[in-house]
Structure 1
Amino acid sequence: MKLTKTIFFAVAILCRINGHAQTQPSQLPFWNYKLGFKERVDDLVGRLTLEEKVAQMLNHAPAIPRLGIPAYDWWNEVLHGVARTPFKTTVYPQAIAMAATWDTTALYTMADQSAMEGRAIHNKAIASGKTGERYWGLTYWTPNINIFRDPRWGRGQETYGEDPFLTAMLGKAFVHGLQGDDPKYLKAAACAKHYAIHSGPEPSRHEFNVDVSAQDLWETYLPAFKELVTDAHVAGVMCAYNAFRKQPCCGSDLLMIDILRNQWKFNGYVTSDCWAIDDFFKHHKTHTNAETASADAVFHGTDVECGTDAYLSLVKAVKDGIIKESQITVSVKRLFMIRMQLGMFDPASEVVYAQTPTSVLESGEHKAQALKMAQESIVLLKNENNTLPLSKSLKKIAVVGPNAENSIAVLGNYNGTPSEIVTALNGIGQKVSSDTKVVYEQAVNFTNDTLLAFTDISAQCAYEGKHGFKAEYFANRQLGASPIVVNENEIDHFWQEGQQVTGSIKANDFSARYTTNFTAGEDGYITFQVQGDDGYKFMINDKEVINAWERNRWGARTYRLDTKKGEVYKLVLEYWQGDGKASVALKAGKFVKTDFNALANRLADADAIIFVGGISPQLEGEEMKVDYPGFNGGDRTSILLPSVQTELLKTLQKTGKPVVFVMMTGSAIAMPWESVHIPAIVNAWYGGQSAGTAIADVLFGDYNPSGRLPVTFYKSDADLGSFEDYSMNNRTYRYFKGEPLYPFGYGLSYTSFQYKNLVIPAAVKANANIPVDVTVTNTGKRAGEEVVQLYISYQGQSFKVARKALKGFKRIHLKPGETSIVHFTLTAKELAVANANGKMICPAGKLVISVGGGQPGVKNIPTGNVLQKDIKIN
């Protein structure tokens, strides 16, 4: 017995050496799912060293093997469907297009479905040990609820438009759908970005300083963030690149401490925008180095650093006394609380979402929702003499334009990759009868009329006795040693980040070299075009002729080679991929200038001409190397439709055939000539994987258009102030004093609606609820959906107020002759406006309430379609 006791105590002592070091990780309290999350988080973080805590504050948090904690990458995207994974996922319409639906239920459903697809992918990550890989996690850095204050901003396509109320309601629906309603676990974690006062310009975003009035801050830039933090309980917030009042947003006293943490009581996590901490000392010059910048960001509540590893300097900052370890602990506890709430430390049997199968990816229900939202998003801007809908039995339809067969445009940005993409040309071809001839001509690029007519050069390419290209793939960006070598007939690749390239090489920080010998088939010339994401270099006979060794976002560059028949030219294309998706292509041909008159003659026998133009995410987006006329760095320098498209439309119009302009865009386009002379104009945005089907459904009458503009379409650049001026003076429909081309909230239908009996009380006390009722009747011959909109306008106030402001909307479906009574309740929150000091008040005096199919006081809205009454606030 004594010997047994001795052995027992010896074993016990050994097991307790170094605290819990010898305890099995699974037996530690933080792994016990029956305990409360706070107790578990306290236990987990209490076991970490300073170095381990700091490492967890990077977006690529490493594993902690001694505690059984797996690696995790916080960076993931779900702007309009799960993005950038190696899996095929459902791609819904771009965010600005979803905003054009004015349909909160649809946003909720889309987010719910996306979260389930994300769960299926994360479950695969767990099963395959890939939780530490980017875009496999459950923390999504969406939605983008910045206000689209200026149509030149290239990232405006990622937002829900220019109005704070519409943005807040759609954002809230998205967060609820994504995070779910389980009483214990989050389905996924949403993140409201970019906090705050952020909307371009893109080229200067890393050093730009913003200052706005207290009134604009609280009435325009903060309401959506407040709604998502205090009402929707969003899990995360991303702080922006730019500075606010000379402090980087991620280190702003007012934004991060006073408002977010103290006033709004936000207890979730905050991530920096990617590389934003480096901006503190590299661009804003507010800090001297990574150590001081990181300490200040954490002091202001920035828990995760994305993109770089400046936060690793926090270890030294603690030892140097710049910041206390207890402050680091606060951030790390927030991070592990989110992971706990996502069920990452609990058995799958306890977390219903952890059992989501991969069969949800691109399920029939999800595809149907993507199509439904694409249909709802399309805005009919003009339909003179009922040009639309077109007959499906027309003998010949011409489909023309740079977006007609552009699969990149329909996907927008921050997108996933679906199994099937329906372009406008595809959709139209599938819609018409077999007797209808559909002809296609691209005719123009977005900004010029000279096209590269590609030819197949594969038969003229060979190396080492083999046809095609010698393709060498390297598992690094430097074209390092030991490549995987394969033979390829052509170079035309697209990979999502993390997708298999070849063998063990994944599309993440890889490079490639393609080599061949090209034998010229004639005396003359040939033009080579290289297109790709990130960087590439093209050499002919060892001479560098194209160099885009930089982030280039679908950039295409060309080189003309004068040739002699039979002569051999050595071709080498080198490529590297950084962050995001990867693509590289080498094509060849000759440039041909389009003869507009000859084109019109070829199409003269068409019964209708559908021009599919506008712009594309190839031109507008995030920090892009684009310098085409009218575009700069991802932003636009002009909101006019590129002139080459207007000139082509003028030529097409002269044929005397009905011309329909289908416009794809992520932002407002000024089209003064088109709005007068083209009989039918349809705004189709970037409609997602089923964009072409939805476009055809509208054009041929299988769907009655019901989209409404979430932004103002101005007449010209002269309507816009300085892009760098963040004041709301004369911006958006709320303050714009001019006449818009197409107003916010506008959209036509194939049927008609009549509004009657607007019922509101004559007077109410300040801060009291105001009930509003209106009767809406479908007076046309087709069933349709109407978006009923409610606006308020305070009169005679001593401080600046919006000319009008959206405070309610409802989408309703009515059959021909059907009537519905629509009810709203305006609460003190909707009635409040910001005074000059930024205080939200419900002012006494005269208030005008308008209800209808659009804004009050604009000429585009049909007569009698907007009702308004005055009410006295006592």
Structure 2
Amino acid sequence: MTLAEKVAQLGDKADGVQRIALPKYHWWSEALHGIATTGFGTHFGDIVPGATSFPTPILTAASFNESLWKKVAQVISTEGRAMYNLGHSGLTFWSPNINVVRDPRWGRALETPGEDPFMIGRYAINFVRGLQDVEQTEGYQDFSSRPLKVSGCCKHFAAYDLDKWFFEDRHKFDARVTEQDMVETFMRPFEVCVKEGDVSSVMCSFNKINGIPACADTNLLTRTFREEYKFNGYIVSDCDSLDVIYRVMNWLGDTQEDAIGQTLKAGLDLNCGWGQYNIYQHWGESAVAQGKVRETDIDRALTNLYMVLMRTGFFDNIPAYENLGSKDICSNENIELATEAARQGIVLLKNNNTLPLDPKKIKLAALVGPHANATTPMIGNYNGIPCRYTSPFDAIGKDVKVDYQQGCDVLCTNVAAFPPAVASAKNADVTFIFAGLSLDVEAEERDRMDLLLPGNQTDLINKVVAASKGPVVLVILSGGALDITFAENNPKIGAILWAGYAGEEGGQAIADIIFGRYNPAGKLPLTWYKNDYVDALPMNSMQLRPVDELGYPGRTYKFFNGTVLYPFGYGLSYTAFNYGAINTTTSSLAMNLSTPHFCKPLTYMTNFTAPPCPSLNTLDYGCTEEISFDVEVKNTGNMDGYHTALVYSKPPPEVANAPMKQLVAFQRVFVPAKQSATLSFSFNACKALALVEKTAYVVLPAGKHTIVVGDGPDLVSFPVEVDLQL
């Protein structure tokens, strides 16, 4: 190719080269929770009127079910591959979003798996494997040529979790982040997405990190991803982020050619941007002519790009997928999986013996609230066109007679329709209130100012509840956390469900839970704070740990030292579970170190005397020690159900500024009523017990650690003493 021809391939709309029969290609398609309309690579029409729309990731993540996460992605990639065969999609999907939700006000929480880096990493591995893995090639040794069903993309690195909040804007925001927080939190999901998920693409974010735009950061793109993580694939910019570097940030006073030189040499391969804003395509030749970048840098980028396309079979197809077509999109099995994903994720937040309900005993149900007949709000953003919708009104109406009175929309500024909703509750045997948020309140480029229900929704709920003749069930649709303390404390609200944005079959999943056809088992992937959280610390403060001198209380369950409404991992059931005694042989780990080289200093509480070897540098030490144990899960209630056991590690209490606890494993198990099941866990000791010291070294502290199964009063635990011997 000539230089002009090469440059023309560096944008998300690659022109192709007719002279050498290189087809044009649109790189940008999305598959966050189903094939989306977002991007130029995908379109719907007569041949493909819709695709299966699964719940948004925040709800699917609440299932804590790794096999479900992978199965959802497998179905999405099958539908994507079928759409490609029909000429309606590309093969490169810029999903999933694996940013950590550092702050509950972030408008894109619905797109993510939550706030815990370990859990997000597990989600990323399973989702990417579900998208990419071709059967019988999972053990492929040459990762650079391993076939891909479709190409996934882990985004957006890094420290990106602020869009538009007061005077801060993601296009200008400089995330001031410690290296400790980068290693421990912001980059951890990306590390495992590459190392264990073998993702074939990653996307850099708009923001600066400590003064350097993420897409121009050589340390991130080349040293971290390429050299440290051994990344095989291409790196793409968030759309228009190069133009942002040049025009909005005016970083270093750069020209367009300077921006090309900075980003291409840093390791960026593909520029997503439209028209004149695609700086690579419009000013690439000029950048080479001015000596800002070498043609060999362009060759490297094109090699990374077309290697991925070759792996997807873009040039010669993959025989196993040649026959996929319309029959494989919106199948009954796929729609049922979307329903099941919603069922598994929905979280029961409160239940005063109200749920489940027997529909045969209900003559009339009041159905009120902004989301009582929700359709499009259920599928969130980065969405496609669903196969169909089953709204709460549709589904509940199949079981009982309903009187539907909306009361107000999500913004709830007009109270004129309150009286019919109140009157409906007065006459009904049971009242269902569907409230919460929507993309009008939380979305990309739309962060929240508080954690309250919008407008007059709280007033609507209180008025309806006060008037209700029968029990009241409140269903919340949202991505982010809400302070609904008033509802938790109101004795007339017998039950509360959180249903996220439950996808095209969300109404059916909610009805199945309300009427007892499914026993809820979801757990919150986000901490639900009280509203005073937003007054306690600004959203643009990036520190995870508390900052005592500023009165900042810390972030996420690992560091927040205040009172919460519902903690991370919280979720009730229609039955009761408890744990038996833990059976383990791992009560101590004696590790004989051949040299002090393996030892690292550690920050301790005041007046604690450090041992000769305070901690082990896990990067240098080939740690093979395992922690293994069994725990019995007992269903003591009268209903079959699933239970997810969350396993945490707690560091020695003398270690300063450490997480209070951190998730290290989880398993979901089905347990029939009055029966038990045994869960077996085994994980690497260094990975489970390690901390990130303030120096950013990943270390295993000496001393007494604790392994904890569960939360609250029913947890069980055992100690693990780490003895580092020189």
When the two structures are superposed, what TM-score results if normalisation uses the length of structure 2? 0.88
**1:851–1:866 CA contact under 8 A, matched in 2:** yes
Aligned to 2:539: 723
Aligned to 1:260: 225
Give how far 1:358 is off: 2.0
Query: 2:718 aligned with 1:869, yes or no?
Result: yes
Aligned to 2:279: 310
Q: Which moved more, 1:105-114 or 1:815-824?
A: 815-824
**1:409–1:686 CA contact under 8 A, matched in 2:** yes
**1:751–1:778 CA contact under 8 A, matched in 2:** yes
d(CA) in 1 for partners of 2:654, 2:185: 18
Aligned to 1:342: 312
User: Matches of residues 312-391 of structure 1 in structure 2 within 5 Å?
Assistant: 312=281, 313-346=283-316, 348=317, 350-391=318-359
Query: 2:636 aligned with 1:779, yes or no?
Result: yes
d(CA) in 2 for partners of 1:595, 1:817: 45
Quick one: which of 673, 685, 697 aligns to 2:512? 697
Residues 333-391 of structure 1, C-alpha deviations (whole Å, 9 max, x = no match): 01110110011111x4x532233222100011111110110100100000013343353
Query: 2:453 aligned with 1:641, yes or no?
Result: yes
Helix, strand or coil at the partner of 1:409: helix
Residues 432-483 of structure 1, C-alpha deviations (whole Å, 9 max, x = no match): 3xxxx210001022233527xxxxxxxxxxxxxxxxxxxxxxxxxxxxxxxx
d(CA) in 1 for partners of 2:358, 2:453: 25
Counterpart residue identity of residue 426, structure 2: A
d(CA) in 2 for partners of 1:241, 1:431: 48
d(CA) in 1 for partners of 2:315, 2:86: 16
Residues 106-133 of structure 1, C-alpha deviations (whole Å, 9 max, x = no match): 11011011101011111111xxxx7xxx
Residues 743-780 of structure 1, C-alpha deviations (whole Å, 9 max, x = no match): 10010000111201112322113542111221111111
d(CA) in 2 for partners of 1:599, 1:775: 47
Helix, strand or coil at the partner of 1:744: coil
Quick one: which of 50, 65, 68 aligns to 2:18? 65
**1:408–1:617 CA contact under 8 A, matched in 2:** no
Q: Share of identical aligned residues, percent? A: 35
Residues 218-253 of structure 1, C-alpha deviations (whole Å, 9 max, x = no match): 111111100011111100000000001111000113
Counterpart residue identity of residue 755, structure 1: Y
Count of aligned residue pairs for this structure pair: 651
Residues 656-700 of structure 1, C-alpha deviations (whole Å, 9 max, x = no match): 421110000011111111111022100011000100000000111
Aligned to 2:502: 687
**1:92–1:687 CA contact under 8 A, matched in 2:** yes
Q: Which moved more, 1:442-451 or 1:323-332?
A: 442-451
Aligned to 2:262: 296
**2:627–2:682 CA contact under 8 A, matched in 1:** yes
**1:784–1:814 CA contact under 8 A, matched in 2:** yes
Counterpart residue identity of residue 365, structure 1: E
Query: 2:431 aligned with 1:609, yes or no?
Result: yes
**2:425–2:465 CA contact under 8 A, matched in 1:** no
d(CA) in 2 for partners of 1:53, 1:601: 68
User: Matches of residues 725-804 of structure 1 in structure 2 within 5 Å?
Assistant: 725-729=541-545, 730-760=554-584, 761-766=586-591, 767=623, 768-804=625-661
d(CA) in 2 for partners of 1:390, 1:207: 54
Counterpart residue identity of residue 721, structure 1: L
d(CA) in 2 for partners of 1:354, 1:721: 54
**1:799–1:836 CA contact under 8 A, matched in 2:** no
d(CA) in 2 for partners of 1:601, 1:442: 12
Counterpart residue identity of residue 757, structure 1: A
Q: Which moved more, 1:697-706 or 1:648-657?
A: 648-657
Give how far 1:602 is off: 4.1
**1:252–1:300 CA contact under 8 A, matched in 2:** yes
**2:651–2:689 CA contact under 8 A, matched in 1:** no
d(CA) in 1 for partners of 2:220, 2:202: 12
Aligned to 2:33: 80
Runs of 4+ in 1 over 6 A off after TM superposition: none
Residues 284-339 of structure 1, C-alpha deviations (whole Å, 9 max, x = no match): 22142211101211111111100232002121111111111111100000111011
User: Matches of residues 61-210 of structure 1 in structure 2 within 5 Å?
Assistant: 61-84=14-37, 85-86=43-44, 87=48, 88-125=50-87, 136-182=89-135, 183=137, 184-202=146-164, 204-210=169-175
CA pair 392-208 structure 1, distance change in 2 beyond 3 A: farther
Give how far 1:282 is off: 1.4
Question: What residue ranges of structure 2 are gaps of 5+ in the alignment?
Answer: 38-42, 138-145, 546-553, 592-622
d(CA) in 2 for partners of 1:449, 1:285: 40
Query: 2:421 aligned with 1:420, yes or no?
Result: no
**2:368–2:421 CA contact under 8 A, matched in 1:** no
Counterpart residue identity of residue 101, structure 1: S
CA pair 848-286 structure 1, distance change in 2 beyond 3 A: same
More strand by share: 1
**1:114–1:178 CA contact under 8 A, matched in 2:** yes
**2:359–2:399 CA contact under 8 A, matched in 1:** no
Counterpart residue identity of residue 165, structure 1: F
Counterpart residue identity of residue 666, structure 1: G
Root-mean-square deviation (CA, aligned residues, Å) is: 1.5
User: Matches of residues 188-267 of structure 1 in structure 2 within 5 Å?
Assistant: 188-202=150-164, 204-267=169-232
Q: Which moved more, 1:250-259 or 1:329-338?
A: 250-259
**1:64–1:71 CA contact under 8 A, matched in 2:** yes
**2:8–2:16 CA contact under 8 A, matched in 1:** no
Counterpart residue identity of residue 781, structure 1: N
Quick one: which of 629, 649, 660 aligns to 2:473? 660
Give how far 1:595 is off: 4.4
d(CA) in 2 for partners of 1:798, 1:791: 17
d(CA) in 1 for partners of 2:26, 2:364: 53
Aligned to 2:693: 835
**1:389–1:698 CA contact under 8 A, matched in 2:** no
**2:473–2:495 CA contact under 8 A, matched in 1:** yes
Helix, strand or coil at the partner of 2:631: strand
Aligned to 2:595: none
Give how far 1:406 is off: 2.1
Quick one: which of 423, 431, 446 aligns to 2:399? 431
Counterpart residue identity of residue 83, structure 2: I
Query: 2:408 aligned with 1:444, yes or no?
Result: yes
Give how far 1:797 is off: 4.2
Give how far 1:643 is off: 5.3
Q: Give the greater-gyration-radius structure (CA).
A: 1
When the two structures are superposed, what TM-score results if normalisation uses the length of structure 1? 0.73
Quick one: which of 660, 667, 675 aligns to 2:488? 675
Residues 261-284 of structure 1, C-alpha deviations (whole Å, 9 max, x = no match): 221121310000000001111122
Quick one: which of 31, 46, 51 aligns to 2:4? 51
**1:239–1:273 CA contact under 8 A, matched in 2:** yes
Quick one: which of 638, 661, 680 aligns to 1:823? 680
Counterpart residue identity of residue 406, structure 2: Q
User: Matches of residues 552-563 of structure 1 in structure 2 within 5 Å?
Assistant: none
Give how far 1:55 is off: 1.1
**2:406–2:421 CA contact under 8 A, matched in 1:** no
Quick one: which of 705, 710, 723 aligns to 1:847? 705
Helix, strand or coil at the partner of 2:426: coil
Question: What residue ranges of structure 1 are gaps of 5+ in the alignment?
Answer: 1-47, 131-135, 452-592, 624-633, 856-860
